[in-house]
Structure 1
Amino acid sequence: MVTVAIAETRARRAAALRSGQGLAGVVLVGVIALAGVFAGVLSPFDPLAQIPSANLLGPSAQHWLGTDHLNRDVAARVLAGIRVDLLIVALAVPLAAVLGSLIGLAATVHPFADVTVQRLFDLVLAFPSLIFAIALAAITGPGWHAVVIVIVAAEIPIFGRQIRTAVLAVREQPFVEASEVIGAGTWWTLRKHVLPNAVEPLVVQFALSLSVAVFLEGAMSFIGIGVQPPNPSLGSLIGESIGNLDANPWMAVGPLVVVAGLTLGFLLIAQALGNARRSG
């Protein structure tokens, strides 16, 4: 019965991503991700190369989004920025999910551990992410590593509490009690019965965390403590555009549209998965 329920849950999630807002989110994120992967094919320009006599040009057939104040092709830099952002997000969010889930799972084994972990989570969540990011950058220096650490630190308590809540709920189910009655150990019961049934809320949270990670990278790089020039990221590109909006507003429009598209796409996926979960 447990195996059948898990299979039905997976089928509902797959169906949610094949239609409606789930499909819209997958397509939106997929198109942007493919643009980043094939950046070298879509744009002939090096995102770091300065083009002679091409200062702050407007959009054209050759330069889709024009050029920036250092004579670099904006479209090429936006495409390269997509790749940088997706690499950061793909590293930070799974790491936060794994660490947060392990910590939250371990906390359910003993009441003292549970109280200690929850207070640590409260301490982390008490600091706004950007304040923590500024403090971290002051210690370690700005860069992509600071972005990854901030995303991981911000999301660990979220995943930890999600898995804790799910485990405590599933642990009260009759099939878990039956397993314990026949002599199954705590870790065996967690691994075989509790975890497979507690994963579903984590899937929804994972999609939400991806959208949060895109925002955090953009915010940190925008204020200068994330990805450092000349390397492009979506946030740093928006920051570079501020002083040149009158000459070429597309310096800001391009990365802003991509950030909005990624955030919206991940949110649509999360909503679709959440609706599928509630319908079950």
Structure 2
Amino acid sequence: MRLAQKMALCGLGLFIMAAVFGPLIAHDSPFSIDGERLMAPSASHWLGTNTIGQDLFTQFVYGARTTLLIGAMVTLISTFLSTSLGLIAGYSSRMDTVLNAAANMLMVLPSLLLILIVASFTGGGTWQLILTLGLLTWPGYMKLIRASVLSLKEREFVKAAQLYQGGSLYIIRKHLLPFIWPLIRTKFIVSFKTAVAMEASLSFLGIGNPNVPSWGKMLQHAFSQGETFMTASWQWTVLPPALAILVVTIALALLGESG
């Protein structure tokens, strides 16, 4: 692992620790009014307060928990679907036509429009957002895994395993899965980076549960106030969540590099 990747892993680890342990030292509620409006960072308010007096450090650590949780859950769902459906489509010619057609259909559908439609009918809850993003982001890598399996199953060692009556699950687990593991790893990291950026973007646009704090909602609130950039308050209302999103996405991009 190169130095840049080690630094990226440390940076990502710090935000994960903030998400897990930050609420233990933060204020009781991210929405409680704990001070005067637009207070600068101090010993009592580490990241200052916003325009209604809410503690921004509390919102930051609870927002880290929301953003990273959504990113992780979307990634797990998307990676599982890409891997399992890619293996099935590549190994089973009977299922290949159906799964490949479903993947092609999802890839041409406008994802943002579907997310807006789902949010309008479901109220934009956290789990609805997770499921929507997870179900919309699997086709690309599924087709890559399918192509790899189509090539691998023609190799001699797979043919030999089939000749000796090796079961499909055994062949997939022992002979195919180890060869596509680099693709799965890359898919996981790329999906995590994309999910974090998408969650922040959708929250900034007002999509999602308004009662759940996130970095995107912190930015939405800051940018919706006209005085944010007319005073020095942008330094503690905009910079912390914006830099956090930037650092997490760059760290994940570095971790996704091979070598």
Query: Could you state the TM-score of these two structures normalised by the residue count of structure 2?
Result: 0.90
C-alpha contact (below 8 Å) 1:223/1:239 kept by paired residues: yes
What letter matches 1:262 in structure 2?
Answer: V
What letter matches 2:219 in structure 1?
Answer: I
Indicate whether 1:264 and 2:250 are aligned.
yes
Structure 1 residue aligned with 2:96: 114
Distance 1:264 1:146 in 2: 27
Question: 1:206 Cα shift?
Answer: 0.6
- Per-residue deviation, residues 86-142 of structure 1 (Å, max 9, x unmatched): 221222211221122222222224335212222211221223432221121122221
Indicate whether 1:211 and 2:197 are aligned.
no
Indicate whether 1:31 and 2:14 are aligned.
yes
C-alpha contact (below 8 Å) 1:163/1:199 kept by paired residues: no
> Which of 211, 215, 219 matches 1:234?
215
What letter matches 1:93 in structure 2?
Answer: T
- Per-residue deviation, residues 193-222 of structure 1 (Å, max 9, x unmatched): 112222221111111110001011111111
C-alpha contact (below 8 Å) 2:38/2:48 kept by paired residues: yes
Distance 1:117 1:236 in 2: 36
What letter matches 2:169 in structure 1?
Answer: W
Structure 1 residue aligned with 2:133: 151
Distance 1:149 1:238 in 2: 24
Question: 1:80 Cα shift?
Answer: 0.8
Distance 1:187 1:131 in 2: 38
- Per-residue deviation, residues 157-197 of structure 1 (Å, max 9, x unmatched): 13422321222232232221222233323333222211222
Distance 2:66 2:168 in 1: 42
Residues 129 and 20 (structure 1 numbering): CA distance in 2 closer, same or farther, change over 3 Å? farther
Structure 2 residue aligned with 1:189: 171
> Which of 37, 42, 55 matches 1:55?
37
Residues 230 and 140 (structure 1 numbering): CA distance in 2 closer, same or farther, change over 3 Å? closer
- The unaligned stretches of length 5 or more in structure 2 are none
Indicate whether 1:46 and 2:16 are aligned.
no
1:75-94 matched pairs, under 5 angstroms = 75-94=57-76
Distance 1:207 1:79 in 2: 22
Distance 1:172 1:25 in 2: 39
1:243-262 matched pairs, under 5 angstroms = 243-244=224-225, 245-246=228-229, 247=231, 248-249=233-234, 250-262=236-248
Cα RMSD (Å): 1.9
User: 249-258 vs 166-175, which deviates more?
Assistant: 166-175
C-alpha contact (below 8 Å) 1:45/1:73 kept by paired residues: no
| Equivalent position SS for 2:238 | helix
- The unaligned stretches of length 5 or more in structure 1 are 1-15
Distance 2:26 2:166 in 1: 59
Question: 1:64 Cα shift?
Answer: 2.6
Distance 1:25 1:115 in 2: 40
Indicate whether 1:165 and 2:150 are aligned.
no
- Percent identity for Structure 1 against Structure 2: 26
C-alpha contact (below 8 Å) 1:147/1:216 kept by paired residues: no
Question: 1:85 Cα shift?
Answer: 1.3
Distance 1:155 1:181 in 2: 36
Query: Could you state the TM-score of these two structures normalised by the residue count of structure 1?
Result: 0.83
C-alpha contact (below 8 Å) 2:91/2:149 kept by paired residues: no
C-alpha contact (below 8 Å) 2:78/2:191 kept by paired residues: no
User: 114-123 vs 55-64, which deviates more?
Assistant: 55-64
